[in-house]
Amino acid sequence: MAQKMDLKTFVMNILNGVATGVVVVLIPGALLSEIFKALVGSFPQLTIVLNALTMSNSLMGVVCGISIGMRFKFTPIETFSLGLATHLASGSVIFKDGIMTMNGTGDIINMIITATVGVAVIMLIGSKLKSFSLLVIPPLLLAVVGVCGLLMYPYVSQITTWIGLGVKQLMALQPVVMSVLLAEVFSLLILSPITTVGIALAVSLAGLGSGAANLGICAAGFGYAIMGWGVNSRGTSLAIFLGSPKMALPVVARNFKTFLPIAANAFVLGILGYFFNVQGTPMSAGFGISGLVGPINHINLAPGGWTGSNILVGLLLFIVAPVVLAGLFKYIFTKIIPVVSESDYQLDL
């Protein structure tokens, strides 16, 4: 059973638990989805793997809930009950006409709210139940905390809609300004509980705007990976941009100044995206380099398709430029203008 703790530790346990859950769920798809989509036409037997990747995404709620429970050192009963409640409230579970389906990852904000309430309930009464824990905790968390979270979901998910309306206003600006601002906005959104894919779909973000959004996410992914290269394990650093920069959420929450080098990176990439006319679709926006979704869709939409020049631009804009700029701004913001240090980017996963 978890002991009493200060508010900062409580919050960081929640955020670190979510970060771990997110990367566990998204990494399989990030590494395998585009490869298997390309192969499934010739080998339809591989469809089962794509189905498994879809299932993984839809289980983000339960994985995040269990991950949070482990952070608080809850018992297995408490941990699994928290996972069930968080999953129910995620919004990925859909009940219609007596049939239950799962779709998408769900709303991370609602997961965090529900898990926080669940943790508070367990910490309040868990130690008092003793041998009755099995009879009380699972139904209490699922039927009360989980259901309340599910009832909140339509209202909490409106936050994404409101942010989408703001993003939609940016799409009416002059192209180079739009590209820079969308790169900045999406580089920040990918580091928050907001779903970038949901925002892109909500406003039908396509063309140059979609490309700029993906470049902003690349700025965040490569930026946080390289800024923390010396203090995080190689696997953690690679997972940040291969899976999702969202796993760096605890770093941003702990010290927002860590976003400054990423903002500078996104600014330059937004300009480059405009000059090289980087493209994307509403379905590809919000992924960045993850699963190679961003560069593959740009090459598909570029005039001429898979030509040598288009492939070269894709590699330069989505990989080379973000890495070079991340190294440059790491030097600037840790040496020339020392507002952050490498230790600020350490992740506790």
Sequence-ordered strand ranges (E) for 188-296: none
Asked whether residue 165 is assigned to any structural domain, the reply reads: yes
Of 156, 190, 207, the domain-final residue: 156
Contact at 8 Å (CB) between 246 and 224? no
- Say how far apart CA 345 and CA 19 lie, in whole Å: 14
Q: Integer distance in angstroms from the first to the last C-alpha of the chain? A: 20
Asked whether residue 191 is assigned to any structural domain, the reply reads: yes
Q: Indicate whether 110 and 174 sit together in one domain.
A: no
| Mean pLDDT rounded to a whole number for the chain | 90
What contacts 11, CB < 8 A, 6 or more positions away?
Answer: 253
What does the pLDDT average to over 242-264?
A: 91
Of 121, 156, 191, the domain-final residue: 156
Min mean pLDDT across 8-12, 82-86, 283-287, 318-322 is at 283-287
Q: Indicate whether 134 and 198 sit together in one domain.
A: no
What does the pLDDT average to over 262-270?
A: 97
Q: Is the pLDDT of residue 4 over 70?
A: no
Which residue reads 């993984």 in tokens? 56
Q: Indicate whether 14 and 25 sit together in one domain.
A: yes
Q: Return the H-helix or E-strand segment holding 247.
A: none
> Rounded to the nearest 5 degrees, what angle is found at the Cα of 250, between the Cα atoms of 246 and 254?
140
Nearest Cα to Cα of residue 273 among 223, 217, 227: 217
171: its two tokens: 């799409």
Asked whether residue 106 is assigned to any structural domain, the reply reads: yes
pLDDT (tens digit per residue) in 149-186: 999 999 998 888 888 888 888 888 899 999 999 999 99
pLDDT (tens digit per residue) in 21-41: 888 888 887 777 777 887 888
pLDDT (tens digit per residue) in 182-218: 999 999 999 988 888 878 877 888 899 999 999 999 9
Strand partners, 96: 99
Q: Indicate whether 174 and 321 sit together in one domain.
A: yes
Q: Indicate whether 179 and 296 sit together in one domain.
A: yes
Q: Indicate whether 19 and 77 sit together in one domain.
A: yes
User: In which domain, by residue range, is 148 found?
Assistant: 7-156
Asked whether residue 2 is assigned to any structural domain, the reply reads: no
pLDDT (tens digit per residue) in 289-335: 887 888 988 998 999 989 999 999 999 999 999 999 999 999 999 99
48: its two tokens: 């089962």
pLDDT attached to residue 25: 86
pLDDT attached to residue 349: 67
Contact at 8 Å (CB) between 203 and 162? no
Sequence-ordered strand ranges (E) for the chain: 93-96, 99-102
Q: Indicate whether 214 and 253 sit together in one domain.
A: yes
Of 156, 177, 201, the domain-final residue: 156
The percent of residues in the chain predicted with pLDDT above 70, rounded, is 99
C-alpha torsion angle, residues 274, 278, 284, 288 (rounded to 10): -80
Q: Is the pLDDT of residue 339 over 90?
A: yes
Contact at 8 Å (CB) between 304 and 218? no
Q: Indicate whether 232 and 139 sit together in one domain.
A: no
What contacts 120, CB < 8 A, 6 or more positions away?
Answer: none
pTM above 0.85, yes or no: no
What contacts 298, CB < 8 A, 6 or more positions away?
Answer: 211, 214, 278, 279, 280, 310, 313, 314, 317, 318
Domain count along the chain: 2
Contact at 8 Å (CB) between 245 and 212? no
pLDDT (tens digit per residue) in 123-150: 998 778 777 888 899 999 999 999 999 9
Q: Indicate whether 274 and 171 sit together in one domain.
A: yes
Q: How confident is the model at residue 1 (pLDDT cuts 50, 70, 90)?
A: very low
Asked whether residue 179 is assigned to any structural domain, the reply reads: yes
- Say how far apart CA 90 and CA 290 lie, in whole Å: 22
Q: Indicate whether 237 and 89 sit together in one domain.
A: no
What contacts 251, CB < 8 A, 6 or more positions away?
Answer: 224, 228, 258, 344, 345, 346, 347
Q: Is the pLDDT of residue 5 over 90?
A: no
Q: Indicate whether 133 and 191 sit together in one domain.
A: no
Q: Indicate whether 90 and 181 sit together in one domain.
A: no
